[in-house]
Structure 1
Amino acid sequence: MPLSDDIRVVVAIDFGTTYSGFAFAHKANPKDIITQDYWNGREGEGLFKTPTVIKYDDSYENVESWGLSALTKKSHRSFQTSSKPLKWFKLYLLGSALTYEKPFLPDVLDYKQVITDYLEKLGEGIKSRLKMHWNDVEFDKQVVVVLTIPAEFDDDAIAIMRKCAFNAKLIPTEYSQNLKFTTEPEAAAINSMDTLKNEHKLGPGDLFMVVDCGGGTVDLTTQELLNDDELNEITVRTGDDCGSYNIDRSFIEFLGDKVGKSAMDLYEKDHYVNLQNIVQNFLGGFGMSKYLQSRIRKKFWEDDVPKISVPDLPIISIMRGAVKYGLTGKIKKRVLKWTYGTIAVRKWEPTDPLELKLPNGYIKVFEKLAERSHQVSTVEEVTRFFKPYSLSQQKMNIDMYITTLNDAKYLRDVKLFRKWEVNLTGVDDYDDDNTITFTLKFGEMEMFATAKNKAEDVQQVTFKYNLEAPLNKMSGIIRSETL
């Protein structure tokens, strides 16, 4: 989607598990992408990223240092704090998907606060750097921030990242459209486009897999190249908790299993292709490892998949690709992780379970809006119509539910996902035309909702989520006022 006329600069932030960095470009010179390569007074030596580490004072209330300085700064003995540098805190966003011991955090600190504090410090560096290049650019109005996220992040993690970005002063309002998300493999795929076309002769309709071996996770996606360098995501995004801290036989076996399954099993029947036509695109901090590259070539892909591409600087591939995504919006379609829908009420039928029959002879059923594993366009919309109970009703709650099933029918088959709250204005009568048109966009990394009354007046829609609830846990079922 083209940038609005107000936007001047795109900034990409690669908030990593072990290292973080940023890159940026002005839309007047989109090919001139600048990657931050000096931190805390040090430059050169390939310092494209700084450690994702933060250090607080003894009370853990104030940030003492962050990034490289949190690991290297030496305090005078009489002023030395006893607090330890905090790292790996991004992994808390994996929720119940986190398969090993949680990183250390003091009892007085919540991981969301730590992420916010780190992003705020990183944001201060970003704003200072932009001022050096374009002093007249207003950050809150003329800058789009693109945050890259791991492929396995769920919707809760993305919502929390948005809240943290807002609290870190990266965006002026919580629901600002000046913050966008893209997955790390997607960004890398965009950045590798020229190499894939020129070196490996990929054209429209060809597929390639992105293997992102980062410091803390391994992410995989398969993409289809379209005309005009646009991409379709083919496989459901996948990822796991494994990285460069575990360079041993079990890791190599894990990666082989993961890539084998992704290459052979994750294709939908309509997208099956010969593996000889796939380019494996290696990137990420760990992707720079010559040891890893040689083992992968020898053990897994030398015979089956001879086309392996490694960017010259994998460590900056994601940042540069995210800038290009922000400038051009190259992702055309994405694959849904869930089946989404709402709850409707109809008359109970003899084929329905008797135990689900309501006292009034009705039953609650799942009404599907979008299906898991379905490719959706970034501009695709789903529209539903809702009607208020009365003229005096001020707000309407529209509940959304999710499931991994494609054939879910009843409330017992799904779980509550989000509560949308719509403010009602301009309701002056109560007839068949007095409806609210509720529209959802599924194709972006986040869902966006709009609501209009019969006069086409846009109603305020608030995205309700519980930042205090554990990630990836079953939510309680709450009845919607629209039922």
Structure 2
Amino acid sequence: MATGVGHLAVAAIDFGTTYSGYAFSFKSQFETDPLNIAAKTWAGGQLQSLKGPTCVLIKPDGKTLETFGFDAETRYSQLIEIGQHTKWYYFQRFKMLLWEKAINKNSMLADETGKMLPALTVFSLSISYMKKDMESMSTKQLCGIGPDDIHWVITVPAIWDDSAKNFMRLATKKAGISSEKLTIALEPEAASIYCRHIPVELDGTSGIASSFRFGKKYLVLDAGGGTIDTTVHEVCFDGKLKELYKATGGAWGGTMVDKEFWDFIAELTGKDSLHRFKKDNMEDYLDLLRDFEIKKRKTDSNSQGLVTIKLPLTLMDIVEENEGRKMKQVVQSSRYAKMVTLSGDKLRMEFNIFRSFFKQSVDNIVLHVKHLLSEPETNGVDAILMVGGYSESPLLTETIQKEFPRMKVIVPKDSGLAVMNGAVIFGHSPNLIKERVSKYTYGIDISEIFDRKIHPSEKLEKTDLGDMCRDVFDLVVKSDQKLKVGEPQFEGRYSSVAVNQSVVALNLYTTTNKDVKFVTDIGCKNIGCIDVPISGKGTGRYVKVRLYFGGTEILFECEEESTGIVTRNVVDLM
């Protein structure tokens, strides 16, 4: 894995479902104060934050970036007003494309109007914007620093599969960041590392410092916009962390709450009216979304009275035109008539209605955490560390505290920035994680001598070497296996079988099933081919192959026996 060693600065891109941002620190700063981290301030109207919306606007040629973040929202709204938006490509909240979907370098992505572009283009242009913006910002702070002096870190959910992580590496490379200058960081790990560095004097009454002493075990709940990412860590004697249980989670993040809210608005206004409103009045649509986002982050279970949402006049006009009656009459005739009122442009709802938007998301999170804490590997966990933007919602944090009264629930200040800042620290010190747990079982496709007692006849293959059994799943790593970072989990010896052979191809398979004998078994999936280079000519040229699964990506190392040449690289799964 690439590291930040030898570079003058480390920059981290936190690529989120709803919000993204970047942060950086110089090596000299990190050595004296690891928390001396700079970040861009994003501005949208009157709103300022250290992250901007994950929105990208691409010019009509489908290749050139126009802008990203709040500026993309504003510019696209302007294009709608003059009727030119259909020629442009506008994407928002597109990160979830990589969740539980088969994805490769040729995957396509639909924009807001249904036009298609390669997903790799959309992701790479977004990363390119933040890369160039960060380089410009860093040079203003320290003269003489160049692009070659920066090591990059990009964050991904720990629950993503290997191909999704590899896709982000390809997108980052296409954005102009070489593999040698890139480290992939897992989001809950980055947040955990950040919280380990919060000094005691800033701890207050949150209990952060005491929860990170030697021997402590805690659950990291990374609640983002798209996914909920959970992992369990133990603090080792040297202050480093080891994972006790494999990363798990699901698509229960803040966008699930947003969907429930929009379903509610659609029921009040009618789906056709809401669709037309979003299509023709993007700026007002974004204002409504931002208003709801503020309510999500501020409303708690102690809130009194009604929750108020300001409805855009353009939406009410569209409803009146479509329904033939005033918006107030539409509300009064709905099934929410006794729980919702409209006064002017202010939609006031009972608190129980507002809380219902969170129910599906929160119920899934609570159920998952309960299941996780019932596993033998999590015995001794006495704290839940909540990070991610969604953790800023009082309704979520209060529910976790209520459902797990025996746990110390820790929500650090600026929990939404924990991943981004932790990724910067991880880039400077990539060895802070010493052990992980494998989420999958991995194997290599091999042929072995046919044994009629154990091998099915349909797998028999006649070769010059005799009867062989094909499609054998040669176990490399088991699911739930503990993986020491920096140590190989597998070593095999392979030889050339052809005179002019230049590579030994090893097909890598993965499965979640416990008992797999053949790569053709149900649930077994080919995730890529490892092309092991081999020099010279002739048969019988041997090479040792070592596979490392303990890092954030799968690495391979090959050593030619005849020359001693060693090659090491990330396994390409695209």
Name the structure 1 match of 2:383.
Answer: 279
CA distance in 2, matches of 1:290, 1:60: 41
Name the structure 2 match of 1:478.
Answer: none
Cα distance change of structure 1 residues 43 and 446 upon mapping to structure 2, 3 Å threshold: farther
The secondary structure found in structure 1 opposite 2:210 is: coil
Q: Would you say 1:152 and 2:159 are equivalent positions?
A: yes
Question: 5 Å matches for 1:149-298?
Answer: 149-169=156-176, 171-172=177-178, 176-193=179-196, 194=198, 199-245=209-255, 246=257, 247-265=357-375, 267=376, 271-274=377-380, 277-298=381-402
Cα distance change of structure 1 residues 114 and 393 upon mapping to structure 2, 3 Å threshold: same
Q: Is the 8 A contact 1:418 1:464 kept in 2?
A: yes
Identity of aligned residues (%): 25
CA distance in 1, matches of 2:454, 2:409: 54
Cα distance change of structure 1 residues 301 and 420 upon mapping to structure 2, 3 Å threshold: same
Q: Would you say 1:371 and 2:478 are equivalent positions?
A: yes
Cα distance change of structure 1 residues 341 and 78 upon mapping to structure 2, 3 Å threshold: closer
How many Å apart are 1:144 and its aligned residue?
Answer: 1.5
Name the structure 1 match of 2:135.
Answer: 127
Structure 1 residues 196-205 or 254-263, which shifts more?
196-205
Name the structure 2 match of 1:8.
Answer: 8
CA distance in 1, matches of 2:122, 2:569: 29
Name the structure 1 match of 2:299.
Answer: none
Find 1:357's aligned residue among 460, 472, 476: 460
Normalising by structure 1, we get a TM-score of 0.84
Normalising by structure 2, we get a TM-score of 0.72
User: Which ranges of structure 1 fall in alignment gaps of 5 or more residues?
Assistant: 467-483
CA distance in 1, matches of 2:565, 2:218: 44
How many Å apart are 1:257 and its aligned residue?
Answer: 0.5
The secondary structure found in structure 2 opposite 1:253 is: helix
CA distance in 2, matches of 1:202, 1:344: 48
Find 2:498's aligned residue among 375, 390, 397: 390
Q: Would you say 1:327 and 2:428 are equivalent positions?
A: yes
**What whole-Å deviation, never above 9, does each CA across 1:420-455 have from its counterpart, x for those lacking one?**
12332234x655xx3111122211111122222122
**What whole-Å deviation, never above 9, does each CA across 1:156-195 have from its counterpart, x for those lacking one?**
10111011001111x23xxx23211121111111111245
Q: Is the 8 A contact 2:2 2:183 kept in 1?
A: no
Structure 1 residues 322-331 or 387-396, which shifts more?
387-396
Q: Is the 8 A contact 1:10 1:326 kept in 2?
A: yes
The secondary structure found in structure 2 opposite 1:29 is: helix
Name the structure 1 match of 2:73.
Answer: 71
Question: 5 Å matches for 1:5-154?
Answer: 6-30=6-30, 31-39=34-42, 47-73=49-75, 75=78, 80-82=84-86, 83=88, 85-96=90-101, 104=111, 106-140=114-148, 142-154=149-161
Q: Would you say 1:451 and 2:558 are equivalent positions?
A: yes
CA distance in 2, matches of 1:462, 1:214: 27
Aligned positions, number: 445
The secondary structure found in structure 1 opposite 2:550 is: coil
**What whole-Å deviation, never above 9, does each CA across 1:68-92 have from its counterpart, x for those lacking one?**
1112246486685344631011111
**What whole-Å deviation, never above 9, does each CA across 1:118-170 have from its counterpart, x for those lacking one?**
11111111111121123322323x2221111112211110111011001111x
Cα distance change of structure 1 residues 421 and 148 upon mapping to structure 2, 3 Å threshold: same
Name the structure 2 match of 1:438.
Answer: 545
CA distance in 1, matches of 2:369, 2:437: 18
Q: Is the 8 A contact 2:4 2:428 kept in 1?
A: no
Which of the pair has more CA radius of gyration? 2
CA distance in 2, matches of 1:237, 1:462: 21
CA distance in 2, matches of 1:124, 1:116: 12
**What whole-Å deviation, never above 9, does each CA across 1:46-100 have from its counterpart, x for those lacking one?**
51101100123345443332111112246486685344631011111114389xx
Cα distance change of structure 1 residues 107 and 351 upon mapping to structure 2, 3 Å threshold: same
Q: Is the 8 A contact 2:3 2:181 kept in 1?
A: no
Q: Is the 8 A contact 2:5 2:428 kept in 1?
A: no
**What whole-Å deviation, never above 9, does each CA across 1:199-255 have from its counterpart, x for those lacking one?**
434432221011111122211111111122211111111121122231422222111
Structure with greater helix share of residues: 2
Q: Is the 8 A contact 1:38 1:44 kept in 2?
A: no
Cα distance change of structure 1 residues 199 and 420 upon mapping to structure 2, 3 Å threshold: closer
CA distance in 2, matches of 1:2, 1:53: 29
Find 2:442's aligned residue among 340, 354, 361: 340
The secondary structure found in structure 2 opposite 1:210 is: strand
Q: Is the 8 A contact 2:504 2:533 kept in 1?
A: yes
Cα distance change of structure 1 residues 2 and 426 upon mapping to structure 2, 3 Å threshold: closer
Q: Is the 8 A contact 1:143 1:178 kept in 2?
A: yes
Cα distance change of structure 1 residues 119 and 241 upon mapping to structure 2, 3 Å threshold: same
How many Å apart are 1:371 and its aligned residue?
Answer: 1.3
How many Å apart are 1:32 and its aligned residue?
Answer: 4.6
Q: Is the 8 A contact 1:420 1:463 kept in 2?
A: yes
Name the structure 2 match of 1:481.
Answer: none
Letter in 2 for 1:358: E
Structure 1 residues 11-20 or 107-116, which shifts more?
107-116
Structure 1 residues 223-232 or 452-461, which shifts more?
452-461
Q: Is the 8 A contact 1:33 1:320 kept in 2?
A: no
How many Å apart are 1:363 and its aligned residue?
Answer: 1.2
